[in-house]
């Protein structure tokens, strides 16, 4: 599914004059507000829908666009610097500027007169960094944090599709588009349930390794990274499910010892998916790994492997690959 299937792009942005009009003010005070949402370990209050929102990263931006929130946005950050900008997304944000190719500074957000920042830990914010909910609050910029990323600052349950659904529903409440968010989430849930009901059963879960990047040490998804939820929904098990991290580095010895049957390649950046596959195939130390011996690779684009609207299609891709590979 392309991003064009997920939402309809509006060509024009709301003008400041309209935002301040009595009609717009009435719409903002229709009894919906104030609202409170849980964001990691904080409760964030909103008296009205943000009118100058910024999203960081391609997957978070797609969540905003899937809900039709581009008229509430003044820009996005953290996409082109990681080379994750697809032609479909470029069309979707044609009217919006990229304010920073990677993580934004406070000055960048202030320069855009932002009043809302949708980001996550290691998705536009770093623990102890200059851009956090605490540093932005005095500037009048409210922050909603990606649920998957909350593990960096608090204990949370193992990653699941509920993380994605929670974020979409919370955005719906924040921007007063609850019905649209509920409809979107219900559609995802029904699509996944119907697909899973038709799947041929597996005798046992397929052992899967997620290869994001890195040659000396692989960067992969652990127990709290979204690929774990995608793999499980497709009938597999992440071989590093016992690693209590979201995205992290491990040693190649662990990969060799755990004998994955399928390797998921996350495609983005300067190193292509094929180059990553070529590296795995060329290293003699990996030759006995079943996935490599049998060349069982599945490529997921970054935007599909991280929390966002393309996760359901990612599960379908993985499920079909698991059943044809074995």
192, 309, 323, 207: CA torsion to nearest 10: -110
- CATH 3.40.50.1980 spans which residues of the chain? 3-188, 200-325
Which among 29, 138, 10, 131 has a CA at the least distance from the CA of 77? 131
Checking DSSP bridges between strand 116-121 and strand 142-145, what pairing results, if any? parallel
Checking DSSP bridges between strand 35-39 and strand 297-301, what pairing results, if any? unpaired
161-174 and 58-66 helices, crossing angle to 10°: 60
- Choice between 223 and 7, residue whose per-residue pLDDT is larger: 223
pLDDT tens per residue across span 295-316: 999 999 999 999 999 999 999 9
SS3 content of the chain, % helix, strand, coil (to 5): 45, 20, 40
C-beta atoms surrounding 151 within 10 Å: 21
**What does pTM read for this prediction?**
0.88
Whether 86 shows a pLDDT value over 90: the answer reads no
pLDDT tens per residue across span 173-211: 999 999 999 999 999 999 999 999 999 899 999 999 999
CATH value of 200-325 in 3.30.930.10, 3.40.50.10470, 3.90.1170.10, 3.40.50.1980: 3.40.50.1980
Whether 124 shows a pLDDT value over 70: the answer reads yes
Q: Is 268 helix (H, G, I), strand (E, B) or coil?
A: coil
CATH code, residues 3-188: 3.40.50.1980
């Amino acid at each position: 599914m392309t991003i064009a299937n997920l939402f309809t792009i509006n060509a024009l942005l709301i003008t400041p004059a309209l935002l301040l009009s009595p009609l717009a003010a009435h719409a903002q005070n229709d009894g919906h507000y104030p609202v409170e949402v849980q964001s990691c370990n904080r409760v964030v209050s909103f008296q009205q829908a943000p009118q100058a929102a910024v999203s960081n990263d391609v997957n978070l931006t797609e969540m905003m666009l899937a809900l039709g929130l581009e008229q509430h946005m003044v820009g996005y950050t953290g996409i082109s610097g990681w080379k994750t900008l697809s032609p479909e997304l470029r069309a979707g944000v044609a009217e919006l500027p990229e304010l920073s190719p990677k993580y934004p500074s406070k000055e960048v957000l202030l320069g855009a007169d932002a009043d809302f920042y949708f980001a996550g830990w290691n998705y536009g914010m770093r623990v102890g960094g200059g851009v956090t909910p605490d540093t932005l609050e005095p500037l009048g910029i409210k922050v909603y944090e990606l649920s998957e990323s909350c593990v960096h600052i608090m204990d949370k349950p193992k990653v699941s599709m509920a993380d994605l659904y929670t974020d979409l529903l919370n955005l719906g409440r924040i921007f007063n588009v609850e019905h649209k968010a509920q409809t979107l989430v219900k559609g995802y849930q029904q699509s996944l349930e119907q697909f899973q009901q038709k799947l041929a059963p597996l005798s046992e879960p397929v052992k899967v390794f997620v290869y994001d990047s890195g040659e000396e040490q692989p960067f992969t998804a652990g127990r709290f990274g979204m690929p774990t939820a995608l793999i499980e929904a497709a009938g597999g098990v992440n071989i590093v499910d016992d690693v209590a991290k979201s995205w992290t580095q491990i040693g190649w010895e662990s990969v060799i010892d755990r004998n994955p049957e399928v390797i998921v390649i996350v495609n983005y950046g300067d190193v292509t998916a094929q180059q990553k596959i070529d590296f795995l195939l060329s290293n003699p130390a990996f030759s006995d790994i079943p996935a490599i011996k049998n060349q069982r690779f599945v490529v997921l684009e970054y935007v599909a492997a991280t929390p966002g609207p393309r996760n359901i299609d990612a599960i379908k891709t993985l499920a079909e690959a698991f059943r044809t590979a074995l």
